[in-house]
Structure 1
Amino acid sequence: MNLDKAKIYVQGGRGGDGSISFRREKYIPRGGPNGGDGGSGGSVVLKATEGMTTLIDLRYRPHQTADNGQHGMGKLRNGGSAEDRVVRVPIGTVARVHDSDEIISDLDKVGQSFVVARGGIGGRGNAHFRSSTFQTPRVAEKGEPGEERTLDLEVKLIADVGLVGFPNAGKSTLLSRTSAANPKIADYPFTTLTPNLGVVRIANDKNFLLADIPGLIDGAHAGSGLGHDFLRHIERTKILVHVIDVSAGDGRDPIEDFEQINKELSLYNKRLARTPQLVALNKTDLPAAQDHLQKVLGYFGKRKVYEISALTGQGVNLLMTSTYRLLNHINKEIQKKSSQQKPMVINESRPKEKIKVTHRKNHFFVEGKEVRRAALMTDFGNEQAIVMFHRKLKRMGAINALMKAGVQEGDTVQIDEFEFTFNQNSNG
């Protein structure tokens, strides 16, 4: 079971209906409308939470639905709005629309949150619709349905540095040597089946987060050996430490291993191939390593490599210190670029929504967010509500759009799931 992936269905709460009510008191025979508004439905919110590492809870509770808003009441009493449903997820969780590459949120900071399904707004009570020519409105709006969608969630680790290499190269041993992490270690491939994290402390206030990524194999970029599950965890890292078994254990060739891993990284994501990489020649404490060490050093030429033994600790401090220095340099460059960027100006004004009209013979289809909302909040069993709906369509420009498309009296018009016969006047 993959615990860092989950498919969930989210639905915002429906807004409460507005109330149809009139003031009824002694000596006030013709009290005006006093129906209150419905409350807003709750939204479904993803929140990045410290301490969480998997999505296992959501695999067992894939349906996340927020509560509905309360209905409006008489005496101008508004219904209460529902609380948001907060879904806690690990830091590094990415949410995509189901079966697509459309990313709607990437929660990479503690406490960061994102609304993935908005609750519907509450309907207005009849007190809103009184006018000099409409003294007794027996009409109110229905609450708007909440948004609903299916999402694919996955967790990508947030680590500064990632350890990569073939299975059994000694990455887990290196992680346990340099941090307080306690990964499972044994002398066979694929001991590590899930990424492990550890904090490497160089000195006071000098530390970084190190991730032990499970061993990669030939074809990992195409998904072989759980390749996709492993590779996505190093997409965010700023540095890669490439661990090579220089003892050529299991009859492997250290140089071929190095080239194959880099090929897999490049095929999966071109950016990974450009990520700064430090090379660690591991297991130099073994006699067999001396048979291959000079050949491997000759292959790298003048490139700086680090001869280490994760088991004994030889050369590990130098490797980690160099890693921290490089990371510090990269972070300063990132901060420098960020400070040079001009602040983004956000235009708060919304452009007027375009209404789309299509038709087949005498059947016309009207599309648009505001038009759909107006239809969903209309009580089509109420004649006064239908008149108000027609007026709304006029104000939005939907009636003009229909006429430009060639609609005639008596033609069928459909908005979302609602169908009605077109009447240009409709008492409006």
Structure 2
Amino acid sequence: MPAKLGPLPRSGAGVAPSVAIEIEVDAEMPQARPWLTDGLVGWFELTSKEALQLAREHSRFPDAVVHFRGHAPAPIRNSPLAELVHLARARGLELPVFVIGGRAGQHDGTVRPAAYADTSLSAPLFADRLGDMIREVGRLSEIRLRRQVFGPLPGEWPAGAPEHSTIGLLALGLSHRFGAVFGVGAGRFEIVGAFTFDMATQFLESRRFDAVLIDCPPEMAVDYVTRLRFDPRYINLPVIACARNGADAARLHAAGASDVLAHGLNPAELSERVRIAIRAGARRHLAGALLRRFRHRHLGERGRLPRAGYDRYLSELTRLLALQGREPLAVPLASFHPDPLWRSAANDEAFLPAGDNPLRSAALAASREEDFVATVEGLGDMVVLRDASAVGRLARRLSSIVSATSFL
């Protein structure tokens, strides 16, 4: 259960992740307890009221909010949850909300859930989904920060470009829900129907989709979800499936479904759940594309960043991370592997334009897209990480790649 109010603790590898818990009076607490006791092992928990007090008095915010919703609509607009999210946003921090159970349509327009799960999701999977949600929202926040400091990238998509405007949902199967889904998406996003898995695969290979809705018997749905997750191209694609009961829902979650819809879902609930999945897919696509473009442009002498811009970025990142008790670590790339390396690697082609430097190409492969890796005027190749735990992660990956690569 939530801990007493106090400073957010530090773990041995950095600041322990923290989460604010909002539990409505009629939420399914027998279902919620395992999620809090087993799913959040190693997390620092506090109530949304305590988190709001900590934010007001010390400008400290949790990493996320978990909202166990009840079945009766509860006022959200002036709740501690809403105040906490709005206060974080006023400081430039996006605080993601993970909704569990309950009915739809309870959040106002400025408190939109970033993820949803029904109560059939197991506690270990809940922890994984919570971490994924925090990372995806953080990736988009990193893009906003870089655009704020460095401006848009040359050739970046304008607001009306197809990459921004074409939002797609692929509906796989043949069911009575299709009519309701088309009603939800009318004028908001494009819906493409596929009767078979082979048809769905062809559509996925031909264009971008932000989410997939699988509406067919659970036995087939489990197979379809499993096959999608075994394909590296779709391992993170939001997938919604439909279940007849709690046992079916648990199987679909275990197979990798992002969300599971129960029978009898009203149009408002269906709309919210589909929108949550589509927003997650759109965030992932946009952040991934822009983060990759940034690092490929600015890692190397031709695209080196001005020192003044880098200093502004580091200053603003320091301010934002301090709101959650963290501080950035700026490290020269060469310090991750001091041994001398030959000029180029035999398998560097995939990591051009950094192929003239094997450590640069290894950094592209080993680091996460949201890690800041760029060549800075007067400093050389720099890596900026958001937490101490990331240093060990990147160092291990770099060492593994460099030691296993054949250099010519």
Band of TM-score, shorter chain: under 0.3
Structure with the larger strand share: 1
Instruction: Give the TM-score, by structure 2 length.
Output: 0.27
